[in-house]
Amino acid sequence: MVLASERPVIQTAFNLAVEDIRELNPGEAIMMNQKGEMRLKQIIPAGEQKACSFERIYFSRGSDRDIYRERKALGRQLVRPILQAIEGNLDHTVFSYIPNTAEAAFFGMTEGLDDYKNGQRMERILALGHAPSADELRGIFGDHVRREKVAWKDIKLRTFITESNTRNDLAAHVYDITYGCLNEHTDNLVVIDDSIVRGTTLRESIIRILSRLNPKRLVIVSSAPQIRYPDWYGIDISRIQEFIAFRAAIALLREQGMTAMIQDVYQECIAQLRLPKTEMRNAVKRIYEPFTPEQISARMVELLRIPSVTTDIRIVFQTIEGLHHACPGHSGDWYFTGDYPTPGGVKKVNEAFIDFIDESKILNQPLPLCEK
């Protein structure tokens, strides 16, 4: 009997096919008696399953067949918003990825862009109205989606799970760039990341370094939607103010004279905690309701920008619909939607907002919107 949390480990150790390995079902137990006889038994009924989608995007082993396919699908889902961000200018855009965990999404993204490019080529051939000559075909097929290895990560550490007191110092020295891989002030640079959580690595390292290439426009793409809510089911991110999306929403509320809503949500969270857990709802969702995802993304750019960077920057996020399409078997999207699968999760998010207000005194003092 061999047990592991991820399938590729068993496949590699025992040279097995995917079909040779059985996944344990919800509510099911694997048992072995003293004689070494193994059996599977359903010990409790299987309830509604809300498997975590962020685990598939970020933490799971990318060599797993299904996870690899899902991450490629996440990248492919982003083709249309990327084209909008670069205003359709594929000829003067370079595509890359950062960090290495985003490579599978990069493959899916560029495959989708290749399909789009092939559609353009087909239209150009049909528009000729005659059989194309060799020179015409060279002109049509001579351009391609430009891929480069723009960023290099030499330190094998992930700043997402590094303690906060060392994260900024680490983030500033994790990456290096490939100089001369795009035409300065002419080419756009699009880099895909698997997710944007705190924004620390973006601000302290990635944007600072990539801007040295002097792109006309820098587009940061996240294969995950905006991470707006904490998690307590295994990835301990309990402080809601750590999320750059949350800080952007709070900044927009204050700038638009809607600070009263912050007070209202605070009082509503307190009221929710007086209810039975099964009757509670996520009151923090109201913080995001006045704004579109695009407005929050634009405000995030300003929070992430450092004074020395003047490059035009855009951020493109995955949609919730795109996430569900790419990861159909994992509907646990509470990081992004706030739809927690248990009453305990709903209770904790209300508590997290109360803690944020009590700690920051936002109603009386300016909120530090970026980690220093």
User: Percentage of the chain with pLDDT > 70?
Assistant: 90
| Whole-number Å distance between alpha carbons of 306 and 313 | 11
Give the length of the chain: 372
Q: What is the pTM of this model?
A: 0.85
Name the residue with higher pLDDT: 280 or 369.
Answer: 280
**Please, what are the domains in the chain?**
1-47 (no CATH), 48-360 (3.40.50.2020)
Q: What is the pLDDT of residue 246?
A: 96
pLDDT at 48: 79
Q: What is the pLDDT of residues 49-69, one digit of tens each?
A: 888 888 888 888 888 999 999
Strand boundaries in the chain, DSSP class E: 28-32, 38-42, 93-97, 146-147, 151-153, 175-177, 188-193, 217-222, 312-317
**Which 8-state DSSP code applies to residue 329?**
T
Quick: pLDDT tens for 172-204.
556 778 888 999 999 999 999 999 998 888 888
